[in-house]
A = this chain, B = another copy of it.
């Protein structure tokens, strides 16, 4: 498979439109975990009439087809990951920066814990503080506790 071609595997039978092609092009090979709004802003630069509903619809269609992973790693918004290889994430709890972790941990759920679920996958989040935020914390401006 050619690099940047992976999403094509999930678009068979989808009606191809200029809008969708622009969205796919933006997503192909994108490792930044963009939000719907990131996609919308990037694509509407070239297609000024692009509607945010179109972006949401296309992302949801791709998600259902398995071409995108919807990540719940940001409490403020959904993030989408077009990286076809299953992987995990390291997240800075201060600035919410996200780093891919390409390690397969092979965690498994014992049958008695799976509670008759049909298991389809897993995702590990590591939490930490990134070097930049550690630096900032060290130089004094630590946030107060208001409790």
Interface residues of A (CB under 8 A from B): 11, 13-14, 57, 61-62, 64-65, 70, 72-75, 78, 90, 92-93, 99, 101, 103, 105, 107, 109-110, 113-131, 134, 145-147
Which residues from B are CB-within-8-Å of A72? 72-75, 125
CB of B127 within 8 A of CB of A124, answer no
- Shortest CB-to-CB span from A27 to chain B, Å, is 15
Among A70, A126, A129, the most chain B Cβ lie within 10 Å of the Cβ of: A126
- Bound complex: CA of A76 vs CA of B131, how far in Å? 30
Docked-complex contact A122 and B123, CB < 8 angstroms:
no
A101 touches B90 (CB 8 A): no
CA distance A134 to B113 in the complex (A): 17
5 A-B contacts, Cβ less than 8 Å apart? A70-B75, A90-B117, A114-B128, A118-B129, A123-B127
Across-interface contacts of A74 in B (CB, < 8 A): 72
Q: Are A122 and B119 in contact (CB under 8 A)?
A: no
